[in-house]
Amino acid sequence: MSVEQRVLTALQCRQPDRVPVFLYLNPYLDSEWYSRDPSYYEVLQACERYADVIYDWGFPSGLFHTAAPLDEETRQLAGDTTEYVVHTPAGSISSRSKVNWCGGGTVKRWISEPKDVERLLSIPYEPPCPDLKSILQARKAMPDKWVVQLTFEDPMCCVGLIDEMTLALWTIERRDLLRALLDVAFERIQTELRYCLDRGAGPVYYFNGPEYALPPLMSPRDFEEFVVEYDKRLVDLVHSYAGNYVIMHSHGKVGKFLERFASIGIDGLNVLEPPPIGDTVLSDAKRRIGDRVCLIGNIQYDDLARGAEEEVERLVVDAIEEGAEGGGFILSPCASPYERPLPQKAARNMIRYLEVARRIGSYQGR
C-alpha cells in the first residue's frame, strides 16, 4: 500500500497491510527547521525508511481568522517582556510575552475584559485566501511517500485569546460572550474549509482546540455546548465532500469523553495520552469506540525521548497489541519532536520506535 492508502484505510477503521506509524517529521522537505539540524539527520533517514510521513499544511488564519491588514505595533517593556498591540476601530487590544529559561511564554492574552471582545470583533473581516498550489501538488506528487493533511483551529481555539482567569469566570458569568466568539469563529472556519474543499484539497483535515474544554478547565456541559455543537457541523461539512477524512487532536484527560468525541463524527482521534499525564487506556478506548474512530497514539513523548531503549520497545509492542486488532489504529507519539538539538538518546529511541513498529506491525497472521 502507499502511505496515503494505508493511513486512509486505518481512518476507515479497516485493516491496512500494516499498522501506520507517525513521528511528525517530514524527511522530504528541506524547508523544515529540523531538516537543517544535524542532530535530526539519522532520525530523518529512519523516517524515510520506516515512517508513514505526513505532509502537514496549516491554514494561515491570522488573528481571529481575518486576512485584513492590522494596525499593529510591538513594544519592549521592562523585565524581558514584549507587548504586542493591535489598534482596532473600537480601541486597542494587546498581549504580552516574557523571556524565561525555556524560551518564553505568554503572560497576558488579547482578551481580559468584555470590551476586548468588542474590540476584537471590530477588526474588519477579510477571508484568508491562501495559495493551495503546494498541497494540491503534494498529493499528486508523492502519495506513496506521504499523506497530505490540512490543519485548522476549531472554534474552541478562540478561547486561547482569553486570559485564563477571565475565561474561568466567563464560563459561569458571561457565557454569552463566549458564544459570541464561538459563533463568529465557526462561520469564519466554515468559510476557510469551503475554500479548501471547493478546490479539491485533502484528503485529511486536522482540527486543534477541544482540549480547552476538558476538565479541569471546563465541565462536560461546556464540552457539549462549546465543542460538540460546533465541531459536528464542521466535520459534516468536510465529509460532504467525498474522499475526505477528519482527525481531531486533543491533549488532556479524554478518557471519560471518548463517546462524546465519537459523536462528533470524526474519523480519527489523537493523542490519547496514557496515565499518569492523561487517563486513556488504549485497550479500553479500543473497546468503547474503536469500531467508529481510528485511535491514534498513545506513546508519551517523554517516555519515547528519555526512556531506556528496551522500555521504548515494550511501549510499542504493548500499544500495537492493544490497538491494532482489526485495524483502525495508528501508532503515534503524543507530541512531535521539538528539542534543539535533539539529544542522542532521544534520537536512538525514536529510531528504535520506528524500527520496532515496522518489524511487528504487519497484519499478516494476526
pLDDT digit string, tens, across residues 123-166 = 999 999 999 999 999 999 988 999 999 999 999 999 999 998 99
Average pLDDT score, the chain: 95
Residue 366: pLDDT over 90: no
CA distance 44 to 25: 7
pLDDT at 105: 82
Question: What does the radius of gyration of the chain's CA atoms come to, in whole angstroms?
Answer: 21
Helix 309-323 and helix 282-289, axial crossing angle in degrees, nearest 10: 20
54, 8 Cβ separation under 8 angstroms = no
Residue 36: DSSP 8-state: G
Residue 28: pLDDT over 80: yes
| Position 33, amino acid | W
pLDDT at 271: 96
Residue 101: pLDDT over 80: no
Mean of pLDDT values over 15-21? 98
pLDDT at 263: 98
**Cell numbers found for residue 42:** 539519522
**Cell numbers found for residue 270:** 489523537
CA distance 301 to 312: 10
Which is more confidently placed, 38 or 143? 38
Please write the tens of the pLDDT for every residue from 282-341. 999 999 999 999 999 999 999 999 999 999 999 999 999 999 999 999 999 999 999 999
pLDDT at 99: 80
CA distance 322 to 319: 5
Q: Where in the chain is the domain with CATH 3.20.20.210?
A: 3-68+125-360
| pTM attached to this predicted model | 0.96
295, 312 Cβ separation under 8 angstroms = no
Residue 362: pLDDT over 60: yes
Residue 256: pLDDT over 90: yes
Residue 104: pLDDT over 80: no
| pLDDT band at residue 217 using 50, 70 and 90 as cut-offs | confident
Architecture of the 3-68+125-360 domain = Alpha-Beta Barrel (3.20)
The strands making up 53-58's β-sheet, listed across from edge to edge, are 53-58, 146-153, 204-208, 245-250, 268-271, 294-299, 329-333
pLDDT at 79: 85
Cβ neighbours for 216, distance < 8 A, ≥ 6 positions apart? none
Please write the tens of the pLDDT for every residue from 56-83. 999 999 999 999 999 999 999 998 899 9
CA distance 7 to 294: 10
The DSSP H or E segment spanning 323 is: helix 309-323
**Cell numbers found for residue 119:** 474590540
Residue 228: DSSP 8-state: I
DSSP 3-state of 297: strand
